[in-house]
């Protein structure tokens, strides 16, 4: 077991945020006991999916997300949604809209609220579990939903405070301050305590920053790469380490789980956030993701980024063949 300390990412040092994520994940995979990357399966997987690229994620096409002529309202929607872009470990208890996933349910109810009247930083600062339950149409008599709505309220309230204190109450100011850098947006959000997505494994820090990175990607998508969403360094982002990516890669043979871990996941047992197993799952997703991107480049798909690959995997994770087996469940504020 290694007790060596690694250089930890310090929020504000934008140039090393995603480098720190990749370095930490590579170190985890050097020592991993529960999850292995089958590198021999990667070329064939890359060939199977190569024809899907370039893969375009159309943010507005599904109809879940808020559209606005106001850049401030659009930035407010994206940063509010990504402040609560977690809870997959609770989604079995979530009251979903017909035909929608947990994420789509949350995104669409938030869209309805913004269409009535966009939430402001002051609104978020004063958020409560009861108000969240009203916005997202959940029954907080259910203890799991009460816990999730309390976590949502805390995250939204913190976001409101940060925007008021550091960005003059304007969500767009955070985006503009990054000077068209996706990593810069992620680094700004990484300063918020709720985005401190850093695990510890065998004595060293492993930053993931899933929600901070996906918020930057979502700004790009929501603004359709225009105006404040014209981001220059999207290729630096990593795969967004949640529970969908490792699940799909397991089903495709790219990831191999230990018998004990596979049994826990297949039995739908909760994995503890920050546990050795959970950290390895997330690290493997990121490290394997970069290997798959490299394999796609070797096939001539040189424009593919980890963000593109993530969008492809996440969209396809809802297909019946991937829904036939459980994915890992963790009750966390990070995904």
Which residues are tagged catalytic?
242
The secondary structure of the chain, three-state, reads CCCCCCCCCCCCCHHHHHHHHHHHHHHHHHHCCCEEECHHHHHHHHHHHHHHCCCCCCCCCCCCCCCCCCHHHHHHHHHHHHHCCCCHHHCCCCCCCCCCCHHHHHHHHHHHHHHHCCCCHHHHHCCCHHHHHHHHCCCCCCHHHHHHHHHHHHHHHHHHHHHHHHCCCCHHHHHHHCCCCHHHHHHHHHCCHHHCCEEEECCEEEECCHHHHHHHHHHHHHCCCCHHHCCCCHHHCCCCCCCHHHHHHHHCCCEEECHHHHHHHHCCCECCCCCHHHHHHHHHHHHHHHHHHHHHHHCCCCCCCHHHHHHHHHHHCCCHHHHCCCCCECCCCCC
């Amino acid at each position: 077991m290694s007790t060596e300390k690694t250089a930890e990412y310090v929020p504000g040092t934008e140039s090393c945020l995603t480098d720190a994520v990749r370095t930490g994940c590579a170190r985890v995979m050097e020592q991993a006991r529960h999850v292995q990357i089958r590198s021999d399966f990667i070329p064939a997987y890359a060939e199977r999916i190569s024809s899907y690229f370039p893969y375009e994620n159309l943010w507005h096409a599904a109809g879940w997300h808020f559209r606005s002529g106001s850049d401030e309202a659009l930035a407010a929607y994206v940063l509010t949604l990504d402040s609560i872009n977690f809870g997959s470990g609770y989604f079995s208890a979530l009251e979903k809209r017909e035909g929608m996933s947990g994420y789509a349910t949350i995104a669409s109810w938030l869209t309805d609220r913004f269409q009535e009247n966009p939430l402001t930083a002051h609104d978020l600062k004063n958020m409560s579990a009861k108000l969240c339950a009203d916005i997202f149409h959940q029954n907080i008599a259910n203890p799991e939903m009460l816990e999730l709505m309390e976590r949502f309220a805390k995250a939204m309230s913190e976001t409101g405070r940060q925007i008021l204190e550091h960005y003059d109450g304007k969500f767009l100011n955070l985006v503009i301050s990054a000077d068209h850098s996706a990593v810069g947006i992620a680094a700004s959000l990484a300063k918020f305590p709720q985005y401190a997505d850093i695990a510890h494994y065998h004595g060293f820090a492993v930053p993931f920053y899933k929600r901070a990175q996906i918020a930057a990607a979502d700004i790009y998508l929501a603004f359709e790469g225009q105006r404040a969403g014209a981001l220059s360094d999207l290729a630096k982002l990593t795969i967004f380490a949640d529970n969908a990516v490792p699940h799909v890669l397991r089903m495709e043979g790219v990831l191999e789980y230990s018998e004990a871990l596979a049994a826990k996941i297949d039995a739908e047992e909760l994995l503890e956030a920050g546990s050795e197993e959970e950290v390895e799952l997330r690290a493997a997703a990121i490290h394997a993701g970069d290997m798959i991107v490299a394999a796609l480049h070797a096939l001539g798909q040189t424009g593919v980024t980890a963000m593109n690959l993530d969008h492809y995997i996440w969209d396809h994770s809802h297909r019946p063949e991937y829904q036939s087996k459980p994915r890992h469940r963790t009750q966390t504020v990070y995904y």
